[in-house]
Structures are given as structure tokens and as C-alpha cells.
Amino acid sequence: MNMADDNDQADDLRAEYRREDFPAGFERGKYAARMAEGSNIVRIDPDLLAAFPDSAAVNEALRALVRIAERSASKF
């Protein structure tokens, strides 16, 4: 595929679509639950975003928490 083909395809796309543009039975979020079941994404509450700016920070904190929990559990 060359650049001319890419430009032709881009010209075919509309800026907006309306619900009427799709066949009957169109359902928003129809597969959202199924997708969520197969996903490992966890939402972080807004008040925690400053402390955990990215997934590496979250993972590091959770690993530290697991180590602390394992140490305290082994004492009992």
C-alpha cells in the first residue's frame, strides 16, 4: 500500500457518525463486560494519582506491601 492509497482511505472516513448510520440493533457497550472480564486493568481513584503516577509506581508499592504482609504473617 502506498501513500496515495492511505490518503484515499482517510478521505472515505467521516468526521462524525450518527446512530442512524448503523444497522438496527446497534447497542452501545454491548461487549464492554466481556472485555472487562478478560482485562487486568484496575482503575485508581483520583486522590491516589499523585502518589502513583504510572503503573511502575503502583507495582512497586504493591510488591512492597506484599513483602510486609508476608513478613508479618510469618511472625504469627
Of 75 and 42, the structure prediction assigns the larger pLDDT to 42
Residue 2 has pLDDT above 70, yes or no: no
Please state, in angstroms and rounded to a whole number, the distance separating the CA atoms of residues 58 and 53.
Answer: 8
pTM (two decimals): 0.47
Please say if the pLDDT value at position 76 is more than 70: no
Number of domains in the chain: 1
The predicted pLDDT at position 58 comes to 94
Cα four-point dihedral sign 11, 16, 21, 26: positive
- Report pLDDT digits (tens) over 21-59: 777 777 888 888 888 787 788 888 999 999 998 889 999
Domain enclosing residue 34, as ranges: 3-74
CA distance 11 to 25: 27
